[in-house]
Amino acid sequence: MMEGSDDDAGSNVSSFEQTSANLKRAVQYWLDKSTIHVVPRWILFTVVLALFFLRVYLVQGYFIVAYGLGIFLLNNFIAFLSPLEEPARNDDGLALPTSGREEFRPFARRLPEFKFWLACTRGCVTCFFMTFFSVFDVPVFWPILLLYFFVLFFMTMKRQIMHMWKHKYVPISFGKAKYKNAGEEHGLYGGGMSKGK
């Protein structure tokens, strides 16, 4: 009789693990499908962020949660703008090119765009759910938090822009350059892509 109860408990645990694994697999499937849809992903993030700030405005509380979210988003944004390898610390010659004669190396981010979006969206959703628990509603004078956040934002961005200026890199790119007649060959033997097909 005891063995039957142990088997039932084991099957419940394995059933829970199986359901959890299936749920994780489904979430990962949809995340993988969304990687190519950059604009809709950022629209989703903007909607979630707007819902969070609407909730904070309507409740007139949870300002410390909003401040924490702002610091979290700022930290992720700085990681998104920063290069993977610090140019000042590279003594092995793997620094970013500074002249036209050096080899071109594409800008590699410390935090890629998809992971940046995912972290920001998860942070917003987490903070949104935190606003439903009164334990996170710490009474603070919100104008001081807002002022401190803006001071921190401008000081951090100034430092980041000075770093970009010093090492001569631009972290913003709009994809690959597209050239007219790319892939077409005009010659005796043709080849390449056909123009009309």
What are 61-72's pLDDT values in tens digits?
A: 999 999 999 999
pLDDT at position 126: 97
Q: Which residues of 23-55 are buried (b: 16+ CB within 10 A; e: fewer)?
A: eeeeeeeeeeeeeeeeeebeeebeebbeebeeb
What are 95-116's pLDDT values in tens digits?
A: 555 565 666 566 778 889 999 9
Segment 29-42 mean pLDDT: 91
| pLDDT surpassing 90 at residue 171 | no
Q: Decide if 127 contacts 55 (C-beta within 8 A).
A: no
Mean pLDDT (the chain, rounded): 82
Cα 7 to Cα 4, 19, 20, 101, distances in angstroms: 5, 18, 20, 70
Q: How far apart are CA 109 and CA 107, in angstroms?
A: 6
